[in-house]
């Protein structure tokens, strides 16, 4: 069991999360100015009405040739590169302390895991009954496994894979 310094806390949807994403995206865009990239708001905070941990997830998508330069520029902007965290092709960063709480990732265009994440979010945006089901599941898991992030993630996986199947994506497919 992995013990966190703070328990997992899932809260009701906050309509301010898209604005937080916009502000953070602007910070990242300034750091990556001149590179070809796009920004994506991912995770539960990107799904209207979905309960979530109050941490905005965003990803900068760059061309393969720009990945190393993007990592360097983000470091210069105060982000600490922490590697792929076990997900090949997705680089994670520790945020600067003066910004709202968020997770920043960097992927090259065409990343399979990012494509799956976007498909999942898009499907839920169009199916509010599934948003409610996912919210209930996450709140229940957060209560049940409060300090075990791996158990929390494992508990969500069957739901996520089920939604991806409904969206026409098999396991491991984009």
Encode pLDDT of 51-65 as tens digits: 999 999 999 999 989
Q: Distance between terminal CA atoms of the chain? A: 31
Closest CA to 40 of 107, 89, 88, 91: 107
In angstroms, the CA 44 to CA 46 distance is 5
Contacts of 114 (CB under 8 A, 6+ apart): 40, 42, 59, 61, 90, 107
Q: Are 39 and 25 in contact (CB under 8 A)?
A: yes
Phi-psi region of 88 (alpha: psi -120 to 50; beta: other; left: phi over 0): beta
pTM recorded for the entire structure = 0.90
Residue 5 has pLDDT above 80, yes or no: no
Most confident region among 82-86, 127-131, 166-170 by mean pLDDT: 127-131
Half-sphere exposure for 124 (CA within 13 Å, toward CB): 27
Give residue limits of the domains in the chain: 17-165
Q: What number is the average pLDDT over the span 77-82?
A: 97
Mean local confidence (pLDDT), 39-44: 97
**Contacts (Cβ under 8 Å, ≥6 apart) of 169:** 116, 119
Question: Which pLDDT value is given to residue 44?
Answer: 97
| The pLDDT value given to residue 132 | 98
The domain made up of 17-165 has a fold known as Beta Polymerase; domain 2 (3.30.460)
The confidence score (pLDDT) of residue 6 equals 82
* 110-164 residue pLDDT tens: 999 999 999 999 999 999 999 999 999 999 999 999 999 999 999 999 999 999 9
2 pLDDT above the threshold of 80: no
Whether 10 shows a pLDDT value over 80: the answer reads yes
For 94-117, how does the pLDDT look when each residue is reduced to its tens digit (9 = 90+)? 999 999 999 999 999 999 999 999
């Amino acid at each position: 069991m992995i013990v966190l310094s703070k328990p997992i806390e899932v809260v009701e949807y906050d309509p301010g999360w898209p604005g937080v994403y916009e502000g953070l995206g602007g910070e990242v865009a300034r750091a990556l100015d001149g590179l070809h990239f796009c920004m994506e708001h991912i995770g539960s905070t990107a799904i209207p009405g979905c309960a979530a941990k109050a941490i905005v997830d965003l990803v900068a998508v760059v061309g393969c040739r720009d990945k190393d330069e993007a990592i360097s520029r983000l470091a210069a902007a105060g982000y600490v590169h922490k590697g792929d965290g076990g997900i090949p092709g997705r680089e994670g960063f520790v945020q600067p302390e003066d910004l709202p709480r968020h997770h920043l990732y960097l992927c090259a265009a065409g990343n399979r895991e990012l494509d799956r994440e976007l498909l999942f979010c898009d499907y839920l945006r169009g199916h509010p009954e599934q948003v409610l089901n996912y919210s209930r599941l996450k709140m229940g898991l957060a209560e049940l496994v409060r300090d075990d992030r791996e158990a929390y993630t494992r508990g969500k996986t069957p739901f996520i894979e089920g939604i991806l199947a409904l969206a026409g994506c098999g396991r491991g497919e984009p």
